[in-house]
A and B are shown apart, each in its own frame.
Chain A
Amino acid sequence: MIEVKNISKKFNENLANEVIALNDINLTIEQGELAILKGASGSGKSTLLSLIAALSKPTLGEVIVDGQRISKLPDNFSALFRREHIGFIFQKFNLISTLNVYENIITPLLPSEINREEIDQKAHKVMAEFSITHKKEVKVANLSGGEQQRVAICRALINSPKIILADEPTANLDAFLTDSFLDFIQQMKEEKKTIMIATHDPVFFNLDFTDREVDMRNGQII
């Protein structure tokens, strides 16, 4: 379960150019729930996702995931938490362009104590699931947008996270790949993963398998 309690996030706090990205947000997402965070650019969706993923810290309030106060974790421990519990799919995929598909996918497992054989098995399992095995030796810079997204999804799933967070996942995809992504989300939902998708793409609105749509505007839930 994800609990967001009285969260505010300010950038450039107490400076002339202070920005209030989130303002007193309260939100609870149950285990296995699929929530769509919708709103225009600058409404605070991505900031909220980054706080839930412990990628940044709030200015006020707290984020609790499965009873753990993740907003209070020191950086090294929040990285550990993220590695073990969260699969994050970024809008621009954030792949390492100089590495190949296989190397990108296994990066979350490298700091762990899992042996190389097990890492290899996990990587091949997710690559097969997303039909990218045949490109495993190809540098990601040479892949199409859809292929890059599949690599990003594989990387997010390789550590079998309970929570999947996706930030504008279809922003760089065409209609066909967007449909594929929706299939993937439906599959994850069936596997009882907790999913949060921040998007302003109407394709995610009013889907029959989503549990909730959260509307955001000017850093607040409306």
Chain B
Amino acid sequence: MSLTTPDVIALLILDILFVFFAIISFLLSIRIVKHWDLDSTSSLQYSLEKQSYLVATVIKYLFFLKLPLFIYFVFTLDLIANVIPGAMCAAGVVNATPYGFYLFVIKLINLYLFGIWLALHHYDIQHPGYPYSKLKFTFFILIFFLFMAEIILEVMMFSAIDPHVIVSCCGTLFCAIETSHVSSFLVLPDWIILSAFYGSFILLLFFYRLKNIFAFALANVLYLAAALISLIAFFSTYVYELPTHNCPFCLLQSDYYYIGYFFYSSLFTGTFFGIGSFIIHFATKEKVDSWFKLSMGFNLCYLILVSLYPALFYLKNGVWL
């Protein structure tokens, strides 16, 4: 291990604890899924019902902790950027190793999956007959592998960071030159990017009015993609008040009043409820009206937040960047 800051050590200790509890839950989940028969009055079924309560509680707290820990993870990346030469923010740390990007993607996917598991569990305990128990433990077995992949990648990433090696800063990683990761989006005209973003929100609103669950979820996927691209390519420049700075990570820094945390929280929460509404309704047939409202609320919140920056800039300066 070449990088051992207190925050990294804290994350790794938590990872060990998570692995321990996740493996126990995984093994018991397999047993539950394999032998679960709600109609049975056998001793095995009663013991599974007791175990299911215990295992579900363990998984619930595991996932409840993982959600806020994502924020702590990002915060830690930002902190350790100070000790890595060349890194100006978390972007440099993510790109300091070959694992960082994949870890980030898998963490984001897991955020949605953990949220869906928690929702499934919530609906399961609302009914007397354990209606979704088998489903939720099967789902846990599937996401366990992604959960483990995340932890393995996290350990590999922190192990591979060498504080003596100079890394690229976000200015290089998110610029319009051809070799950049996001160059193809950055060279697009603003009107296309903004049309995609605001257009996808109108689409959301349209399907929200229609109460079409599948189309609403699909529109949320589009909105998420359009929101992230437009944030990097357009809105971030107004936060930094610098037309050439497109980093999605610097937004998380104190220089910009940690506004990135508000951006991403509202965007991910809004799209989670939007995409999750379809998955939950498809799997359980539960009513998801409140999910629709929450999704629209958070997505609207994100839209207002990001739109405020260029609007205020224009009002203040009378020009666009």
Chain A residues with a Cβ under 8 A of chain B: 5-6, 8, 13, 57-62, 71-77
Residues of B within 8 A of A71 (CB): 41, 46
B38 located at the interface, meaning its Cβ lies under 8 Å from any Cβ of chain A in the complex: yes
Q: Is the CB of A58 within 8 A of B46?
A: yes
> Given contacts A73-B128, A74-B130, is CB(A61)–CB(B53) below 8 Å?
no
Docked pose: A6 CA to B49 CA in angstroms = 19
Q: Is the CB of B128 within 8 A of A60?
A: no
Report B196-209 CB contacts with A as 1/0, cut-off 8 Å: 00000000000000
Q: Is the CB of A74 within 8 A of B53?
A: yes
CB-nearest residue of chain A to B129: A72
Report B114-138 CB contacts with A as 1/0, cut-off 8 Å: 0000000000010011100000000
Tell which of B46, B53, B129, B130 touches A60, judged by Cβ atoms closer than 8 Å. Answer: B46
B25 to chain A, nearest CB (A): 18
Docked pose: A75 CA to B57 CA in angstroms = 13
Q: Is the CB of A77 within 8 A of B46?
A: no
Q: Is the CB of B42 within 8 A of A60?
A: yes
> Given contacts A74-B128, A77-B128, is CB(A62)–CB(B41) below 8 Å?
yes
Residues of B within 8 A of A58 (CB): 41, 46
Docked pose: A145 CA to B295 CA in angstroms = 59
Docked pose: A74 CA to B38 CA in angstroms = 12
Tell which of A6, A72, A75 touches B53, judged by Cβ atoms closer than 8 Å. Answer: A75
B285 located at the interface, meaning its Cβ lies under 8 Å from any Cβ of chain A in the complex: no
B287 located at the interface, meaning its Cβ lies under 8 Å from any Cβ of chain A in the complex: no
B2 located at the interface, meaning its Cβ lies under 8 Å from any Cβ of chain A in the complex: no
Q: Is the CB of B125 within 8 A of A74?
A: yes
Q: Is the CB of B125 within 8 A of A76?
A: yes
CB-nearest residue of chain B to A62: B41
CB-nearest residue of chain B to A77: B128
Docked pose: A61 CA to B43 CA in angstroms = 8
B50 located at the interface, meaning its Cβ lies under 8 Å from any Cβ of chain A in the complex: yes
A6 to chain B, nearest CB (A): 7
Tell which of A59, A73, A76, A77 touches B43, judged by Cβ atoms closer than 8 Å. Answer: A59
Tell which of A59, A60, A72 touches B38, judged by Cβ atoms closer than 8 Å. Answer: A72
Residues of A within 8 A of B38 (CB): 72
With A60-B46, A71-B41, A74-B125 given, name 15 new contacts (CB 8 A). A6-B41, A57-B46, A57-B49, A59-B43, A59-B46, A60-B41, A60-B42, A72-B41, A72-B49, A73-B128, A74-B49, A74-B53, A74-B128, A74-B130, A75-B53
